[in-house]
Structure 1
Amino acid sequence: MTVLNKGIKQELYKEIINDFQNSPLVKLLGFNMLEIGNGIVVIEFQPRKEVLNTLGILHGGVSATLCDTAMGFSVKSLGKISTTVEMKVNYLYPINLGERVRACGKVIKVGENICVAEGEIINEINKVAVKSLGTYFILKKYGN
């Protein structure tokens, strides 16, 4: 699957794709990156039975992981290597088995040492199923 490059440098684009595709957790859960822009990332996901909770809907931890991944890679799209400091998640609608969803991560504030990003998981009927906000500590910039 080709990931749409929406305006970042080709070298950074290739590094992000490589990091994403080689992440053990991304592989395990089956996340697919659809596009990368300047401070924006979109990831697609379709839940399998193994990631459902006892109610038969997507487990909140997996939803949080999807949001964190989208937000973290949105920070990475700015050429920054970061780690999550704090994250808040609101679960608005359940996500069902096999429902194809999109997670959108977007950086909303860039500082010297901290970035803040927001994440949304959009369900098949275009409603925001999950909304998140994350704070990321900048470990270093690419090339440093």
Structure 2
Amino acid sequence: MDSLEEVRARYDADTFPRSLGIELLELAPGYARVAMTLTENMVNFHGIGHGGAIFTLADTALGLASNSRGDPAVALTVTINYLSPAPVGTRLVATAEEEHLTRHTGVYRLTVTTSNGQNIALAQGTVYRQAKKRCPEQYS
């Protein structure tokens, strides 16, 4: 199984983003695009998309893109700027694009837009990449 197939299989088994309705649209080395529709339980008390829901969408794209080359990667830091509100029913698309890659780190540009291209959030994520594959129990 190649690394992209492995990442797809791991995503299919990841219940948290799937519980939010996050769909994997595209996956390539150093790149991922995911989408979800904001539902009533994803808004804050202002009635607009909750920052945590939007962040989770961007973070999911980051996780997929940063793991797409076969070595395990985990986020070290993610900084997000919320640009525009998104009401219930809005289809959001998050894209993660690799900007810089070393043996142990990667930097990714993350964008969250509406399905028609309006900017909702911009973010940057830095990940730590492990040189060899590890079993999940080794992380504890």
TM-score normalised over the length of structure 2: 0.88
Structure 1 position 123 matched with structure 2 position 114: yes
Aligned partner (choices 49, 59, 74) of residue 65 of structure 2: 74
How many pairs were matched up? 135
TM-score normalised over the length of structure 1: 0.86
Unaligned runs of 5+ in 2: 136-140
Partner of 1:14, secondary structure, is helix
Aligned partner (choices 84, 91, 104) of residue 82 of structure 2: 91
> 1:103: how far off?
0.6
1:135 corresponds in structure 2 to: 126
- Following the alignment from structure 2 to structure 1, what is the Cα–Cα distance between the partners of residues 134 and 13? 20
- Following the alignment from structure 1 to structure 2, what is the Cα–Cα distance between the partners of residues 115 and 96? 32
- Following the alignment from structure 2 to structure 1, what is the Cα–Cα distance between the partners of residues 51 and 65? 21
1:40-74: CA deviation from partner (whole Å, max 9, x where unpaired): 10101101111110011111011111111101211
- Following the alignment from structure 2 to structure 1, what is the Cα–Cα distance between the partners of residues 132 and 59? 19
2:35 corresponds in structure 1 to: 44
In percent, how many aligned pairs have the same letter?
A: 23
- Following the alignment from structure 2 to structure 1, what is the Cα–Cα distance between the partners of residues 10 and 39? 23
Aligned partner (choices 50, 53, 61) of residue 52 of structure 2: 61
Tell me the amino acid that sits aligned with residue 44 of structure 1: A
